[in-house]
């Protein structure tokens, strides 16, 4: 259940199962109301098939509860704008990420991710821990049996953003990046700092391709983010991606640069 933090997904599945039982509904009857087959319902309830937002919305329809489960997920797990992206990320066969400011979330170490999340000083320690657990849980998609091909392009400035008090965390993060880049389904490419102007300077984004070939994008901003599914907008992001990727170093040279940055601190 990589699209939601696993404890939350298991909790929601349990609540749906209990609600179905209380309503006296068989899996087949529930499935008719939710828009899924009985076998699909059985697989979700048995936690052998991922819980998705489509299933959650279907459960709300079947129970005519006014969207209770969708609100519950939004309240406990992730902001509502992010949920469609989690669905896309979970079933992706390819992921393409551009990050000019931070290491992509799917490749962050626990220490680095905690430091990034703590930049929001309105969060309590409990909220930081919850967001950290959700971020680390999402990373499991890169190690699953049918893991997506993930190509991450990062600005060199991201690697060098390390003052004395942050250098230890950053060294661990770069070491993790180089290790992840050795996996057959993961590529990490660096846009050198001497590429002064390029299409990616306007901000980060990530693209996910589903098995049916459809792409979905996600843009990040100070208020959270935006999921992009309009064909024309997605085509624009794909075009920008190719332009940025062309400015990046090849895989081996990128790894050498990452190692060189860490070595320069010792």
Of 172, 95, 171, 162, the C-alpha closest to 104 is: 95
* Structural domain includes residue 31: yes
Which has the higher per-residue pLDDT, 120 or 76?
120
In this prediction the pTM is: 0.73
Of 49-53, 89-93, 176-180, the one with minimum mean pLDDT is: 49-53
Tokens of 91: 């079933």
Total domains present in the chain:
2
pLDDT band at 149 (very low <50, low <70, confident <90, very high): very high
**Do residues 85 and 225 make contact, with C-beta atoms less than 8 angstroms apart?**
yes
Same domain for 141 and 258, yes or no, is yes
- Domain limit, last residue, from 76, 103, 121: 76
For residue 224, pLDDT beyond 90: no
**107 and 216 housed in the same domain:** yes
Confidence of residue 87 (pLDDT cuts 50, 70, 90): confident
Q: Check whether residue 176 and residue 58 sit in a common domain.
A: no
* Residue 194: how many other CB atoms lie within 10 Å: 6
Same-domain pairing of 17 and 96: no
Calpha distance 102→109 (Å, rounded): 12
Give, rounded to a whole angstrom, the gap between the first and last alpha carbons of the chain.
41
Return the CATH number at 25: 1.10.260.40
Residue 247: predicted pLDDT: 95
The confidence band for 30, taking pLDDT boundaries of 50, 70 and 90, is very high
Choose the final residue of a domain: 45, 76, 107. Answer: 76
pLDDT of 1 above 50? no
Residues 70 and 84 in one domain: no
User: Is 102 inside any structural domain?
Assistant: yes
Give the residue from 28, 60, 76 where a domain finishes. Answer: 76
70 with 87, same domain: the answer is no
pLDDT of residue 220: 82
Query: Across the chain, what does the average pLDDT equal?
Result: 88
Cα 111-112-117 angle, rounded to 5 deg: 100
The reply to whether 225 falls in a domain is yes
Whether pLDDT at 235 is above 90: yes
User: Of 43-52, 124-133, 245-254, which gets the smallest average pLDDT?
Assistant: 43-52
pLDDT for residue 96 is more than 80: yes
17 lies in the same domain as 117: no
Band (pLDDT 50/70/90 cuts) for residue 2 is very low
Going from the C-alpha of 164 to that of each of 5, 36, 172, 182, the distances in angstroms are: 33, 54, 14, 28
Distance CA 261, CA 174 (A): 9
132-144 average pLDDT score: 87
Query: Quick check: 41 pLDDT over 90?
Result: yes
The residue-averaged pLDDT of 110-122 equals 92
In a domain, 13, yes or no: yes
Question: Does residue 173 lie within any of the structural domains?
Answer: yes
CA distances from 130 to 44, 74, 114, 211 (A): 24, 13, 10, 31
Q: Does residue 238 carry a pLDDT above 80? A: yes
Domain contains 59: yes
* Same-domain check for residues 178 and 56: no
Residue 1, domain member (yes or no): no
Q: Are residues 17 and 119 in the same domain?
A: no
Check whether residue 155 and residue 226 sit in a common domain.
Answer: yes
In a domain, 149, yes or no: yes
Q: What is the dihedral of CA 165, 171, 174, 180, to 10 degrees?
A: -120
Tell me which residue range forms the domain holding 66. 6-76
């Amino acid at each position: 259940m990589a699209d939601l933090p696993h404890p939350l997904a298991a909790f929601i599945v349990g609540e749906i199962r209990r609600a179905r039982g209380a309503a006296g509904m068989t899996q087949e009857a529930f499935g008719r109301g939710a828009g899924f087959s009985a076998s699909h319902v059985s697989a979700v309830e048995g936690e052998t098939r991922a819980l998705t937002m489509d299933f959650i919305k279907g459960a709300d329809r079947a129970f005519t509860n006014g969207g209770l489960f969708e609100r519950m997920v939004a309240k406990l797990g992730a902001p509502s704008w992010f949920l469609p992206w989690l669905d896309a990320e979970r079933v992706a066969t390819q992921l393409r990420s551009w990050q000019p400011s931070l290491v992509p979330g799917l490749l962050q170490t626990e220490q680095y991710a905690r430091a990034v999340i703590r930049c929001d000083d309105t969060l309590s320690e409990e909220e930081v821990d919850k967001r950290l657990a959700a971020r680390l849980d999402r990373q499991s998609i890169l190690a699953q049996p049918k893991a997506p091909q993930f190509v991450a392009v990062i600005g060199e400035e991201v690697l060098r953003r390390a003052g004395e008090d942050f250098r230890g965390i950053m060294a661990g993060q770069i070491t993790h990046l180089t290790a992840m880049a050795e996996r057959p389904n993961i590529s990490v490419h660096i846009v050198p700092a001497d590429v002064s102007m390029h299409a990616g300077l306007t901000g980060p984004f990530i693209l996910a391709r589903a098995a049916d070939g459809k792409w979905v994008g996600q843009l990040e901003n100070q208020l959270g983010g935006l999921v992009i599914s309009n064909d024309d907008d997605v085509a624009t992001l794909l075009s920008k991606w190719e332009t940025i990727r062309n400015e990046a170093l090849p895989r081996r040279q990128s790894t050498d640069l990452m190692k060189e940055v860490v070595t320069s601190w010792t």
